[in-house]
Amino acid sequence: MAKLTVKDIDIKGKRVLMRADFNVPLDESGEISDDTRIRAALPTVNYIIDSGAKLILTSHLGRPKGKVVESLRVDVIGRRLEELLGKKVRKLNDCIGEEVEGAVRIAEESDVLLLENLRFHPEEEKNDPEFAEKISKLADIFVNDAFGTCHRAHASTDGIAKFLPAVAGFLVQKELEHFQRVLENPERPFAAILGGAKISGKIEVIENLLDKVNALLIGGGMAYTFLKAKGLDVGDSLVEEDKLELAASLQKKADDVGVSFVLPLDHVIADEFSASAKTENTAGSEIPSGWRGMDIGQAAVKKFIEILKDAKTVLWNGPLGVCEFAPFLAGTRAIGEYLAESSATTIVGGGDTAAAVNKFGLAPRFSHVSTGGGASLEFLEGKELPGIAALKDK
Q: What is the pLDDT of residues 152-207, one digit of tens each?
A: 999 999 999 999 999 999 999 999 999 999 999 999 999 999 999 889 889 999 99
What is the Cα–Cα distance from 157 to 183, expressed in whole angstroms? 24
Buried b (16+ CB within 10 A) or exposed e, 253-276: ebeeeebebbbbbbbbbbeeeeee
pLDDT confidence band for 351 (50 / 70 / 90): confident
* Mean pLDDT of the 309-319 span: 97
pLDDT confidence band for 123 (50 / 70 / 90): very high
* Mean pLDDT of the 361-366 span: 96
Report the SS3 class of residue 133.
helix
What is the Cα–Cα distance from 7 to 169, expressed in whole angstroms? 8
Task: Using the predicted structure, report yes or no on whether residue 350 has a pLDDT greater than 90.
Answer: no
Contact between 314 and 193 under an 8 Å Cβ cutoff? The reply is yes
Fold equal for 6-174 and 186-380: yes
Domain 186-380, CATH among 3.90.1170.50, 3.40.309.10, 2.40.128.520, 3.40.50.1260: 3.40.50.1260
Q: What percent of the chain has pLDDT over 70?
A: 100
Residue 7 falls in the annotated catalytic set: no
Task: Using the predicted structure, report yes or no on whether residue 274 has a pLDDT greater than 90.
Answer: yes
Q: What is the pLDDT of residue 1?
A: 62
* pLDDT tens column, 287-306: 999 999 999 999 999 999 99
Would you give the distance in Å from CA 73 to the centre of its chain?
23
The one catalytic residue in 198, 253, 359, 392 is 198
More confident: 34 or 51: 51
Residue 382 falls in the annotated catalytic set: no
Q: Taking the domains of the chain in order of start, what are their residue ranges?
A: 6-174, 186-380
Alpha-carbon torsion 312, 3, 376, 144, what sign?
Answer: positive
What is the Cα–Cα distance from 379 to 381, expressed in whole angstroms? 5
The one catalytic residue in 3, 14, 37, 73 is 37
Q: What is the pLDDT of residue 373?
A: 86
- Mean pLDDT for all residues in the chain: 96
* pLDDT tens column, 86-97: 999 999 999 999
The one catalytic residue in 196, 318, 351, 372 is 351
Closest CA to 311 of 344, 346, 264, 353: 344
The predicted model scores a pTM of 0.92
* Mean pLDDT of the 255-259 span: 97
The CA distances from residue 52 to 107, 249, 257, in Å, are 12, 57, 54
Report the SS3 class of residue 210.
coil
Q: Strand 141-144 to strand 89-91: parallel, antiparallel, or no bridges (unpaired)? A: unpaired
Q: What is the pLDDT of residue 302?
A: 98
Report the SS3 class of residue 394.
coil
The one catalytic residue in 62, 66, 374, 382 is 374
Closest CA to 76 of 135, 42, 29, 111: 29
Fold topology of 6-174: Rossmann fold (3.40.50)
* pLDDT tens column, 195-237: 998 898 899 999 999 999 999 999 999 999 999 999 999 999 9
What is the Cα–Cα distance from 58 to 48, expressed in whole angstroms? 14
Contact between 107 and 88 under an 8 Å Cβ cutoff? The reply is no
Q: What percent of the chain has pLDDT over 90?
A: 96
What is the Cα–Cα distance from 349 to 339, expressed in whole angstroms? 14
Contact between 296 and 321 under an 8 Å Cβ cutoff? The reply is yes
Residue 105 falls in the annotated catalytic set: no
Residue 365 falls in the annotated catalytic set: no
